[in-house]
Amino acid sequence: MRCLPIILTFLFLGCSNLAPQTHNFDHSRNEGYVAFVVNETEYNTPEPTPRLDPDPEKCACKGTGIITHGDGHTTHCPYHYKDDEEDNDTPR
């Protein structure tokens, strides 16, 4: 309890000394730093889609007949898609 007045005094003095501060920083250096961080950070990059191949093991579809592309679209593999019914198109 004896320390309390001292702590309060320092707290008061500390608070009263908090003058508004202007933070100056080098914008171009900051920009470069941000770019550096962006370039160096490793993200979970999906593996690029391998090429089509008549060999199901080497083909992008892995023999399933369906290829999923980087943006989520799926297409039929021209080598391994079995059912060639192409009639699900809607006339427009």
Partner 1 sequence: MADLSHLGGWVNDPRGVERSMRPLSSPVFGDAWGPIKDSGKNKVCLLYDYILQAAGSFPIRLQTVGDCVSQGAAYAVDAAKCVDIVVNKEQEEWIAETATEDIYAGSRVVIGGGSLRGDGAYGVWAARYCNEYGAIPRGKYGNVDLSKYSGSKARNWGKPSGGVPKSLLEISKQHPIFTVSRVDSYEQARDLLANGYAITVASDQGFSSQRDSEGFARPRGEWAHQMCLLGVDDQYKRPGVLCMNSWGIWNAGPKRNNQPDGSFWIDADEVEKRMLSQGDCWAFSGYDGFKPRKLDTRII
Interface with partner 1 in residues 53-82 (CB under 8 A): 60, 67, 69-73, 75-79, 81
Residues 5-44 that bind partner 1 (CB under 8 A): 28, 31-36, 38-39, 41, 43-44
Across the chain, where does the E strand assignment appear? 66-68, 74-76
- Kindly state the tokens that stand for 76: 């039929």
Output the smallest distance, CB 23 to partner 1, in A: 19
The residues binding partner 1 (CB under 8 A) are 28, 31-36, 38-39, 41, 43-49, 51-52, 60, 67, 69-73, 75-79, 81, 86, 88-89, 92
